[in-house]
């Protein structure tokens, strides 16, 4: 019997992900939040508090989890914890996203409404392809990357694990963006960006590297 998906997270991003799962016809059992507040539901789903709930729900027979946490690093950590407990990571994909039949998707991915993923693009585990973002042919989107709403990646762009491309950013073809990079909102990336850098502006310039 389908006991439903456990959603880890209970904030704004989780709300969107719950609605994606429901629009796919999935049952969502609980959202797990991390602090008690006045809010007891997330998109109509009961919130229970504390990551330790994952263990209890696993013991009750829940097997599927979606990590609905915006922070890329935290999403990766919590996914490792959940899979270590034996959960499977499910995808939350809007019926109103366009995904090429030749694109390859990993697990634990969110693809919001209006997103487009074109031919032979590869989207690794835990990535977020947010509302209206477009990922063109042959792009490689690494683990736990977040491509924010209305961003557009031309063909053959690669983005390393844990990177965040801010709202409305654009990337020209063939560019390679390292892991752990932040591209500021509206940035236009026209050349490679080294790992762990923040780049902003048009064209995007690196303002810091850690």
Ligand X SMILES: CC(C)(COP(=O)(O)OP(=O)(O)OC[C@H]1O[C@@H](n2cnc3c(N)ncnc32)[C@H](O)[C@@H]1OP(=O)(O)O)[C@@H](O)C(=O)NCCC(=O)NCCS
User: Helix or strand or coil: residue 73?
Assistant: helix
Find the shortest distance in angstroms from Cβ 131 to ligand X.
8
User: In angstroms, what CA-CA distances link 174 with 57, 161, 178?
Assistant: 44, 17, 13
Please classify residue 177 by burial: count the beta carbons closer than 10 Å to its beta carbon, then call 0-12 exposed, 13-18 middle and 19+ buried.
Answer: buried
CB nearer ligand X, residue 90 or residue 189: 189
CB nearer ligand X, residue 87 or residue 178: 178
CB nearer ligand X, residue 160 or residue 166: 166
Strands ordered across the beta sheet of 45-49: 41-42, 45-49, 28-33, 5-8, 64-67, 88-89
Partners of 67 in beta bridges: 8
146 is catalytic: no
Binding status of residue 11 toward ligand X by CB under 6 A: no
CB nearer ligand X, residue 73 or residue 207: 207
- In this chain, which of 122, 185, 188, 195 binds ligand X, going by CB under 6 A? 185
CB nearer ligand X, residue 114 or residue 149: 149
Q: Which is nearest to 29 in space by CA: 7, 58, 51?
A: 7
Q: Which of residues 113-142 bind ligand X (CB under 6 A)?
A: 130
**Residue showing the smallest CB distance to ligand X in the complex:** 184
Binding status of residue 186 toward ligand X by CB under 6 A: yes
Binding status of residue 167 toward ligand X by CB under 6 A: yes
**What is d(CA 84, CA 98) in angstroms, rounded to the nearest whole number?**
32
Binding mask 142-161 for ligand X (x = CB under 6 A): ------xx------------
Binding status of residue 198 toward ligand X by CB under 6 A: yes
Catalytic residue, candidates 58, 81, 137, 196: 137
Q: Backbone dihedral region of 167: left (phi > 0), alpha (psi from -120 to 50 degrees) or beta?
A: beta
**What is d(CA 177, CA 191) in angstroms, rounded to the nearest whole number?**
8
Stretch that binds ligand X, among 28-36, 53-61, 102-110, 180-188 (CB under 6 A): 180-188
Q: In the structure encoding, which two tokens stand for residue 85, read together?
A: 């407990």
Binding site for ligand X (CB under 6 A): 130, 148-149, 166-167, 182, 184-186, 198, 200-201, 207
Active site residue ranges: 137
């Amino acid at each position: 019997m389908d006991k439903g998906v456990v959603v880890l997270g209970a904030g704004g991003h989780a709300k969107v992900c719950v609605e994606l799962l429901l629009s796919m016809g999935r049952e969502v059992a609980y959202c797990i939040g991390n602090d008690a507040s006045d809010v007891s539901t997330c998109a109509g789903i009961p919130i229970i508090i504390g990551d330790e709930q994952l263990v209890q729900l696993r013991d009750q027979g829940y097997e599927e989890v979606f990590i609905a946490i915006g922070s890329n690093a935290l999403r990766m950590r919590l996914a490792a914890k959940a899979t270590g407990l034996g959960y499977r990571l499910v995808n939350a994909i809007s019926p109103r996203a366009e995904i090429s039949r030749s694109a390859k998707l990993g697990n634990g991915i969110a693809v919001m409404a209006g997103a487009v993923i074109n031919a032979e693009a590869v989207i690794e585990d835990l990535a977020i392809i947010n509302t209206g973002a477009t990922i063109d042919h042959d792009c490689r989107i690494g683990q736990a990357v977040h491509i924010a709403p209305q961003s557009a990646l031309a063909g053959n762009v690669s983005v390393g694990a844990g990177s965040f491309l801010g709202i409305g950013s654009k990337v020209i073809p063939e560019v390679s963006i390292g892991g752990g990079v932040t591209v500021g909102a509206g940035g236009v990336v026209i050349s490679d960006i080294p790992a762990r850098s923040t780049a902003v502006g048009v064209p995007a310039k690196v303002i810091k590297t850690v």
